[in-house]
Structure 1
Amino acid sequence: MNGTDAVLVIGSGLKLYREYLVTSIHARARAAGLDLVLINNIRPTWQRAYFAEVTVVNLFDHDLLARTAREVASRRRIVGVMCWDEPFVMPAAHLAAEFGVPGLSVPGVDGCRDKYHTRSKLTEAGLPQPGFAMTATVEEARAAAARIGYPVVVKPRALGASMGVVLAADEAELDAAFQVASAASLIGDEPYRGGAIVEGYADGPEISVDGALHKGEYQPMFVARKKTGEPPYFEEVGHVVDAADPLLRDEALVDTLARAHRVLGVEDGITHAEVRLTSRGPVVIEVNGRLGGDLIPFLGKTATGIDPGEVLFDVATGRRPDVVATKRSVAGIRFGYPEHDCVVRSVAVPAEAPGLVTAAPMVDPGTSLRLPPGGYIARHSFVVCEADDPAACDARLDAAGALVALDAERIEPLPPGATLEMPTGLLDVDE
């Protein structure tokens, strides 16, 4: 053994989306005298600046991933395991348990990853939940919807980013929604493929909450107000984080989230919970066993001063994190979507705009963007703005977004039943 203790990271994620996290984690690790070791699915480029060691394997082969991690552990003492990529949170949980280091726990991640288990456990514990059923055929889905009552939401069992999630107002819409959700599930992990969950529609504003857990204690960090588009689908087109959001002090919301995490058996780590604020109170829609995507943690850091990379490092290595805000601002992100399926020729983003923090193209020339149901996350760009209040932030996002220039060639939508095209940005394809 080389004698250097290390934190094992499973999957780096995209540079555009995750380098700011890795920068903070690397600084925290150096201060603690620890190395960062990465097991990744592509060859390293930008990652070399932060990781003492990088091994490239097929992360989707979980047996190979486990063998690779054990080989690292034969040379180094692993003191923590981190993962923020949805497809790999379960094998990361197993590795944390095997190495005896803090983690969300295998039951906790299973309760988060499997949306049917989430619903089942939260319902059994008496938390407010919509009616639901796991269905294998469209006939089962029709019967479940009739029992639950329309409108219903039809979704895959274990995908993120609202992929394959469809609102159905009646039986005619349900049939199409079931086919979309079931087809989308086929790009996920094998145990969760096929069929769809049918559940009652929880009406009300949708938010997400990134929170930290240390030995089962839940601490919310920041709330993101979500903006969706492309109905009847639920494409996430933007988020706004306000450091002074009154929901952070809402006892009903915080208590509901703390209870949900206890019921799911989540122990140490960071989760991204999605909640509907209904007339009956907060309803947990899902809990993800990872940091939020869509640069929400970056928005949280910009608005509150809480550094999610530092918090993640702390909980992954057994330290109680500090989640006290040191800043009082508002930050938001807006994603650029095409009006129709297209092949991108070019994307230009503004270099300057009122309150602009950063902006970037998200695709290269020649990329096909497919709107639901032929594809998801068809984003060509994003803008991030900061302001003193949410209304001003929204106005700045509108103005900055209007400065994005997309040049693209329209293409015909995929025919019904065609193979779903993988979403842009789902996998780390940095080159």
Structure 2
Amino acid sequence: MPRPLLVLGVGGPADYAEFTLSQVAQAYPIVLADKDVPLWARPYLAHHLPVDLADPPTVLDAVRRHAAEHELGGVLAMDRSAIATVAYVTSARTPHAHDSHGLAACSSPAAVRRLLKRDVFQPRWTMAHGAQSLADHADSIGYPVTLRWPDEPAGPIGPAHTRRELLALYARGRQAVFDATSPLDTVIVEAHLSGPRICAEVVVFNDGGCQLIAVTRTTDGPAPARQALRHSVYAHDELLHNRQIRQTVERTVHALSVTSCVLHIEMTLTSRGPCVTDVSANPANDLIPLLVKRATGISLPQVAAALANSEPPTLAPSRQKAAAVHFAYASTAGGISELALTTPAYRPPVERAVLTQHVGSRVNSVEWASGRDRLAHWVALGDNASACDTTLDEAAKALVVSFAPATSTVDSDAVPHDSRSVNDRACPDLSIPPLGRTATCPNATHTDPAVEETTYVQFRTGASKQRLLPPDSPGTAGDDRVVVQPATLGLSTDDVKAVGGLMAELVSTCAAIGARYDTNDIWQPLAPGPDGQFSEASEVLAHLARTLNRTRAGIRKIHAQAHRRALSRAARIAPGQRGVASS
């Protein structure tokens, strides 16, 4: 039985983080330390320590109390914001650890750059505090420049070629791209870099040696946000053998003095060579671990977990393929009035297709988008990167999206009613995604865990009338003014569409599983070996349970809202009836 692994944070929303957490759970029992546990993560956990990750001493106390009664192995950060806490806990539990300072630095782009400044090529940069400081520093660096907020997951925005452009970029970036809770007055201003963006996925061993596992190539969207439109990983990428990239990786690892971890090193390939822009020591975002797994067979989350537990990782590649993910954004800003994927059949090159917004959401246009503005994403597999690109180009045509007339929080122009996404094409069929996260229904809203825990919803449809008050409420007997027909319960056209969307997701999930497993009344798993087949059965059940929970929670929410509206109407019709509770 492997030693349980202490994991800090779940790594983000299920659409992106579930694969990573599930990979770790397949290899080690997980003890999660975090304030709350999202519903989707619970099947993967052996234990939960409810603590605030922003308070390292409290986390350490909780870990020590748990370790006093249970066996506990190493520590792994799933969120970048938890890396400093991992370093604190690790150094306290293992006083002779030598890499806590470098590991802690990986929690902040600014701290990483300070450690790398003597040994690794990086852009000219400085920290600015406020608009005036920003403009002065940009003048000294020289235009064009880009901006990067230190504690935000989004990449740089820009470029700005003049002071006027810079201040406008700063104001709009604060409004459109970043959370109001972030320290927005502090910003990194850096020289603009021209060239392709890549990420090196690097395993660092206990002795400080390292191995380059994969190179992720990124296709950027339009400026100024330059959000990632596509990531691709190819097992035979020629950049894996590029001498300059390998030297840059080795110098970065040496400068940080980290050991026993997996690093995600971001670079821009400039005319002067690879330029490092950021380094993180938590599993990469944007489904990159999934791409690496599908392309090479190497599970970076399991490698990181093994290293954290002081065990030798499995690094032998078992696949020689390519995998890529494509993200869809809106070409104009506004509220979403229609969002759907045409999914009549399952085609294996597309592994998954996921809607990440719902009708009623407001999004920014691709020029000012953040990761929170993504409409959908697809993952494709192929023999090479070109094959994946072809599949994704075709798959993106299946996205149907329209916007209600609105004004963006950033863009001042009104949004046309039938504007298409940045993937503006026709809409042929697209495969139904297999196991994992299915295409989320257009109207399914993400509810809080307390709502999602609902396991039973009842609609009383047998009676022709439905009382909104208890039968023994004063003044209600025989009073039709407080008896509402089901048609007037409060279900609007949008409510009916939302219910239909929820049911469509449930049916689509079942259809996708049925298409993948042609059982002929016999369960025929695809995974080899008893352990793999058992895990596959568990994954199917968990996938069905998650979808059913979302459907039930969504229907319950819709029904509750309609019920409240009906109560409000009944109160207005019969103001003298004291039995009608105000909403």
Q: TM-score, normalised by structure 2?
A: 0.65
66, 76, 89: which is aligned to 1:95? 89
Change in CA separation of 1:214 and 1:428 when aligned onto 2, cut-off 3 Å: farther
- After TM superposition, the structure 1 = structure 2 runs for residues 277-316 of structure 1, keeping only pairs within 5 Å, are 277-316=269-308
153, 157, 160: which is aligned to 2:146? 153
Kept after mapping to 1: 8 A contact 2:123/2:191: yes
**1:311-364 per-position Cα deviation (integer Å, ceiling 9, x unaligned):** 122111112323232211111111111122233345333353472111111133
8, 28, 33: which is aligned to 1:39? 33
314, 320, 323: which is aligned to 2:315? 323
Kept after mapping to 1: 8 A contact 2:353/2:378: yes
- The alignment status of 1:230 with 2:230, answered yes or no, reads no
TM superposition shift of 1:370: 3.0
Residue 7 of structure 2 corresponds to 9
**1:112-170 per-position Cα deviation (integer Å, ceiling 9, x unaligned):** 23222322332222x222211211233332232222221111111232132x6332122
Cα distance in structure 2, aligned partners of 1:188 and 1:219: 38
Cα distance in structure 2, aligned partners of 1:297 and 1:4: 22
SS state at 2:150 partner: coil
Residue 187 of structure 2 corresponds to 196
Q: Report sequence identity in percent.
A: 25
Residue 343 of structure 1 corresponds to 335
Kept after mapping to 2: 8 A contact 1:359/1:384: yes
TM superposition shift of 1:96: 2.0
SS state at 2:74 partner: strand
Point out the structure with the larger helix share.
2
Residue 421 of structure 1 corresponds to none
Larger RCO: Structure 1 or Structure 2 (Cα < 8 Å, ≥ 6 residues apart)? Answer: 1
Cα distance in structure 2, aligned partners of 1:409 and 1:101: 58
Q: Partner amino acid for 2:6?
A: L
Residue 397 of structure 1 corresponds to 392
Residue 376 of structure 2 corresponds to 381
Q: TM-score, normalised by structure 1?
A: 0.86
Q: Partner amino acid for 1:134?
A: M
- The alignment status of 1:133 with 2:132, answered yes or no, reads no
Residue 350 of structure 2 corresponds to 356
**1:283-331 per-position Cα deviation (integer Å, ceiling 9, x unaligned):** 1111112111100110111111111222122111112323232211111
Cα distance in structure 2, aligned partners of 1:413 and 1:289: 35
SS state at 1:144 partner: helix
Aligned length: 410
TM superposition shift of 1:178: 3.1
**1:164-210 per-position Cα deviation (integer Å, ceiling 9, x unaligned):** 63321222111123335567676576xx6522111111211111112
Change in CA separation of 1:235 and 1:203 when aligned onto 2, cut-off 3 Å: same
102, 106, 111: which is aligned to 1:112? 106
Residue 422 of structure 1 corresponds to none
Residue 78 of structure 2 corresponds to 84
- After TM superposition, the structure 1 = structure 2 runs for residues 359-370 of structure 1, keeping only pairs within 5 Å, are 359-370=353-364
- After TM superposition, the structure 1 = structure 2 runs for residues 41-60 of structure 1, keeping only pairs within 5 Å, are 41-60=35-54
Cα distance in structure 1, aligned partners of 2:309 and 2:96: 6
Provide structure 1 residue ranges, at least 5 long, that are not aligned to the other structure: 30-34, 417-426
Cα distance in structure 2, aligned partners of 1:399 and 1:147: 46
Identify the range of structure 1 (356-365 vs 329-338) with the bigger mean alpha-carbon deviation.
Answer: 356-365
Change in CA separation of 1:169 and 1:353 when aligned onto 2, cut-off 3 Å: farther
Residue 23 of structure 1 corresponds to 22
Provide structure 2 residue ranges, at least 5 long, that are not aligned to the other structure: 412-445, 453-583
Change in CA separation of 1:44 and 1:112 when aligned onto 2, cut-off 3 Å: closer
SS state at 1:78 partner: coil
Change in CA separation of 1:88 and 1:429 when aligned onto 2, cut-off 3 Å: farther
Cα distance in structure 1, aligned partners of 2:185 and 2:251: 30
Q: CA RMSD in A?
A: 2.9
